[in-house]
Structure 1
Amino acid sequence: MTEKIGVLGTKSGQRTQRSGVERVVNAPLPTVYGEFRAIGYLDHDRGDEQVALVYGETGTDDVLTRLHSECLTGDAFGSQHCECGDQLASALRAVVAEGSGIVVYLRGHEGRGIGLLGKLRAMALQAEGLDTVEANLALGLPVDARDYGVAAEILHDLGVNSVRLMSNNPRKREALVQHGIQVAEQVPLLIPPCENNITYLRTKRERLDHHLPHLDAVAHLS
């Protein structure tokens, strides 16, 4: 597997500038789920450091894959405001059970791309009664500013042509196809809701078109 980078020519003696995504390191990463390889990338366009967790020999087609947007509050702190932490854990368990797969952890996606402080400000407005879409708009921020081009570049670098995408979000599928990665199947990641996130999840279904049919069975939650 080779590095996928773009190199801009410069005059002799000047510093070479790069654009695109560069593979920097490949390190073993033992986890509670299994033994992964952590393949680190540098996005020269945005300056973000990215990582793909690869389990087993993935091949090129129909690779079980998760594009996971960074969520400090959910992934690290166990927030029940969202289902992100549970989705990440479920995706890691799924690729291990499959015997191979990839979880691309996308930094710079915090709060659907508005950053950590923007997300916390939006959460404060949600506590006052706005939904997640209304809160972003009230702050003058985009509803969803995420870009999946980097994820597609990483998958291309890993030799992946098509994926079985673990996601409830149709926009992820559309973005990958747009960037040349075929989606053979969209695999739901349906996390049981709780009282603290049911309103958030319903908003994602009703206003952001996420496929969350399991919410119909928990109408009793406020």
Structure 2
Amino acid sequence: MTASDSSPAAAHDASGATGETPRIRFEVETAVPTEHGEFRVRGYTDTVTGIVHLAICAGEPSDGMRVRIHSECLTGEAFGSMKCECGPQLEAALNIVQAEGGAVLYLRGHEGRGIGLLNKLRAYRLQEDGLDTVDANLALGLPADAREYIAAAGMLDDLGVGRVRLLTNNPLKQAALEEHGIEVIERVPLEVGRNAVNDEYLKVKAERMGHLFG
């Protein structure tokens, strides 16, 4: 389905669109039927961190397809936490990609905006004392956002895709792709999952982290 052979024996490096030292290595592709429909799931290893990332694809990859860069969120996706909108965003993105073609690039190691699961829980505890999502991370001596997106650019390069319609409310994701040579021809808002619990959290993301809503 892509520019690379889907056989494990043909595993190779993908570097992103800028030609830097290869950062990800393709490992395997397989069909995964889901309640959203059937996807082709491609597994990649980050050659620096060792983390495995996934490209969850529907249809043939092509320039201009819809792409979601989705950061791993155990609490939101597995437990249905109402503190964030990650679970509903993943569900919505899978539905869109299944209906229109494209890919969800699932980036592991991004828990808590890259600070890890335990530190995410520690940040939640500080939020109980009144800190917002940004100040809680900072109070732990950690960045407000520690994520990087070079692996996403590498997966798109491996898929032979250089231009995308990006499903995101976060302009930093768009900037990161463009920095690594992927053209974002349209930013498509993905505004789902707001509730009474996370309303203030989403306001902070807009006011302090530049997320675009409405």
With the length of structure 1 as denominator, give the TM-score of the two structures: 0.87
CA distance in 1, matches of 2:44, 2:193: 33
SS of corresponding position for 2:48:
coil
Match of 2:38 among 31, 35, 38: 35
* Residue correspondence of structure 1 range 4-43 to structure 2 within 5 A: 4-5=12-13, 20-43=23-46
- Shift of residue 67 of structure 1? 0.2
**Structure possessing the higher radius of gyration over alpha carbons:** 1
CA distance in 2, matches of 1:95, 1:50: 18
Aligned to 2:65: 63
Work out which structure has the larger RCO, using CA pairs closer than 8 Å and 6 or more positions apart in sequence. Answer: 2
In structure 2, stretches of 5+ residues that fail to align are 5-10, 15-20
Match of 1:84 among 75, 86, 90: 86
* Aligned partners of 2:84 and 2:193 also within 8 Å: no
Percent identity over paired residues: 54
CA distance in 1, matches of 2:22, 2:177: 20
* Aligned partners of 2:126 and 2:136 also within 8 Å: yes
* Aligned partners of 1:4 and 1:22 also within 8 Å: yes
CA distance in 1, matches of 2:198, 2:161: 34
Aligned to 1:104: 105
CA distance in 1, matches of 2:136, 2:98: 37
Aligned length: 200
CA distance in 2, matches of 1:193, 1:66: 18
Q: Tell me the C-alpha RMSD between the 2 structures.
A: 1.3
In structure 1, stretches of 5+ residues that fail to align are 7-17, 214-222
* Residue correspondence of structure 1 range 177-216 to structure 2 within 5 A: 177-213=178-214
CA distance in 2, matches of 1:150, 1:199: 31
* Aligned partners of 1:113 and 1:144 also within 8 Å: yes
SS of corresponding position for 1:58:
coil
With the length of structure 2 as denominator, give the TM-score of the two structures: 0.91
Displacement over 2 Å in runs of 4+: none
Aligned to 1:95: 97
